[in-house]
Amino acid sequence: MRPPRSRERLLIRAIACAGLIGLAWLAQQAIGWIGVGLIGLFTLFVAVRYELEGNLPVGPQMTPDLYASQFGKHGPEHAAERAGRRHEWAGQLSAARLAAGLGALLALVGFGFFFMLEFGQ
């Protein structure tokens, strides 16, 4: 599958941002500002977890065979294959960083307004 062009990537990011802002608006209407903060925390948690784990297997800490098989699979690659995998991972990482930034922003705005409105009086 070919990678998306820059216009397609920009359109996908805009749709994802609009969807997240729409979800935050629904949370604000249903629960209040704490709902926006919770949506932001959840988005931040998922993005950071994806950034940390990447495309590696997920399992309990006591499974070294799982990690050894994953690293053994990528060991005898040629330089071009490694570069292609790194390029693909960089694209996925930029999307995860965008989601982490939006999640942090939503968490700050949501919890900031919640504490300001509740305890600012």
- pTM given for the model: 0.73
CA dist 85 and 74 (Å) reads: 10
- pLDDT (0 to 100) of residue 49: 86
- Among the ranges given (3-12, 31-40, 91-100, 102-111), the one the predictor scored with the smallest mean pLDDT: 3-12
- pLDDT (0 to 100) of residue 93: 78
- pLDDT (0 to 100) of residue 87: 72
- Tokens representing 82 are 């490694």
* Segment 41-58, tens digit of pLDDT: 999 999 988 887 776 666
- pLDDT (0 to 100) of residue 96: 85
